[in-house]
Amino acid sequence: MTLHALTILGATGTIGVNTLDVVARHPDRFRIVALTGQNQIEKLAQQCRQFNPRYAVVLESDKALALQAMLAGTQTEVLVGMEALEFVSSLPEVDSVMAAIVGAAGMRPALAAARAGKRVLLANKETLVMAGRFFMQAVHDHNATLLPIDSEHNAVFQSMPASFFRHGGDRDLTAHGVRRVLLTASGGPFRTRELDTLKDITPEQAIAHPNWVMGKKISVDSATMMNKGLEVIEAHWLFNAPPAQIEVVIHPQSIVHSMVEYFDGSVLAQLSNPDMRTPIAHSLLYPERIEAGVNWLDLAKIGTLTFETPDLRRFPCLGLAYQALAAGGAAPAMLNAANEEVVAAFLDKQIPYLAIAATLDAVLQRLAEQPAESLADLLAADAAARITARELMAENYANRV
Ligand code: NAD
Ligand code: MG
């Protein structure tokens, strides 16, 4: 059997590590072509020694030199920079690309994979938020296969009729009998916290997610529910769903990962323990199912599954995302970019928790109506939103630390 050849972008992150965990369970099925990372060079070197990729990619030349020294005597070639990320995403020998870089930085290599007609395993939701129209067009034009790794979208993917994703199809929800896509959300660590104490939330509290272990940025996004907002936009592009057909429902146990409602009243769902290895394993050799190493779901032990409607006063970021999606054009890209800036500032204790949503709201108002005719436009909108977010934070929270 030929080995499935894989590039993992963001191999040192949570999704990257989980992907390698699944891959290691099936050594006779996969071959790693490239692993990439940004800062954790030691960890990347260790992964390279274990999986023996042909290439390892980092972003800066001093890190490349350090990695090269660590990998002396191995067969792994160290490459550096954004072009190298695009190169290892589009090599002819690569079958699938796991796109698991965090943030807008992941967009170019994910796009390169789509343009090369790869199977793209997309964890990096920011690519779709920022440039959904161009990314989906590239997938279509180059006959790429797009498999969502985000657990909710993976659940929707599994609950949709397979014909919906057939290449060249009209991807019309109504024509496939689908009334709504229901995205579940855990509600994060502050779902029941007293509203008047939200102002005191610290970064440590915000990244302590009750159900999932994730990178810091997505953990803060889960606490504010911006993560769900970004996922609404992600669902819009993946499933060609108008905002009115995407509903968010809070489900604190994180067992039902999302649902699809049909016109006959049926609701199909995907359930599993909250472990990203399930959507990863689902996608790695799709449609073949392989073992993921996860615990089997014991519903009797879990006992109760509950659902509630999100409160937009508690989670204004969710409302902002719907607003940006309705505004269209460059608004989602701006929201995404500004969010990266404010979350970094919050993690760095430069701004208080409530300033996250307040700043994002102000950025969207100040920067309304940017052009979005090309990728260059979106990158410009991204840059403008970052500058405006930093300006607003400097104006309002300058003397905090
Ligand atoms: P993480 O912070 O744990 O890892 C991020 C990875 O990206 C690391 O390998 C890091 O080295 C690399 N990276 C960071 N900045 C980079 C840059 N500027 N250029 C190149 N590489 C860079 O993040 P994560 O939790 O693994 O999330 C990765 C992506 O997957 C995010 O888009 C996130 O929204 C999405 N996702 C994650 C989860 C999860 O459970 N962790 C679930 C759903 C979706
Ligand atoms: Mg998710």
Q: Could you tell me the residue ranges of all domains in the chain?
A: 4-149, 328-401
**Whole-number pLDDT of residue 399:** 63
**Whole-number pLDDT of residue 118:** 98
Q: Is the dihedral of CA 213, 237, 364, 104 positive or negative?
A: positive
Q: Whose CA is nearest to atom 17 of ligand 1?
A: 105
What percentage of the chain carries pLDDT values higher than 90? 94
Measured in angstroms, how far is the CA atom of residue 106 from the centroid of ligand 1? Answer: 8
**Token output for 172:** 């019309």
- Coil, helix or strand at residue 9: strand
What's the CA gap between 401 and 399, in Å, rounded?
Answer: 6
Q: Residue 48's pLDDT band (boundaries 50, 70, 90)?
A: very high
**Whole-number pLDDT of residue 401:** 47
Count how many Cα atoms sit within 13 Å of the Cα of residue 383 in the half-sphere of its side chain.
7
Mean pLDDT of the 256-276 span: 98
pLDDT 10s digits, 342-398: 999 999 999 999 999 999 999 999 997 889 999 999 999 999 999 999 999 999 998
Atom of ligand 1 nearest to the CA of 101: 7
What's the CA gap between 258 and 252, in Å, rounded?
Answer: 12
Q: Whose CA is nearest to atom 23 of ligand 1?
A: 215
**Token output for 98:** 């796991």
Q: Whose CA is nearest to atom 36 of ligand 1?
A: 123
Pocket test for ligand 1, best of 60, 83, 101, 386 (most atoms within 8 A of CB): 101
Q: Which ligand places an atom closest to the C-alpha of 225? A: 2
Residue 308 DSSP symbol = B
Q: From 145, 115, 129, 113, select the one nearest 34 (Cα to Cα).
A: 113
Atom of ligand 1 nearest to the CA of 38: 11
Measured in angstroms, how far is the CA atom of residue 59 from the centroid of ligand 1? Answer: 15
pLDDT 10s digits, 173-197: 999 999 999 999 999 999 999 999 9
**Whole-number pLDDT of residue 29:** 98
Q: Spelled out in words, what is the top-level CATH class assigned to the domain 328-401?
A: mainly alpha
Mean pLDDT of the 246-253 span: 98
**Average model confidence (pLDDT) for the chain?**
96
Ligand 1 site residues (CB inside 6 A) read: 10-16, 37-39, 59, 100-102, 105, 123-126, 150, 212, 214-215, 218, 276
Measured in angstroms, how far is the CA atom of residue 33 from the centroid of ligand 1? Answer: 19
Pocket test for ligand 1, best of 7, 8, 12, 15 (most atoms within 8 A of CB): 15
Q: Whose CA is nearest to atom 19 of ligand 1?
A: 105
Q: Which fold has domain 4-149?
A: Rossmann fold (3.40.50)
What's the CA gap between 206 and 188, in Å, rounded?
Answer: 8
Measured in angstroms, how far is the CA atom of residue 102 from the centroid of ligand 1? Answer: 3
What's the CA gap between 278 and 295, in Å, rounded?
Answer: 10
Fold agreement between 4-149 and 328-401: no
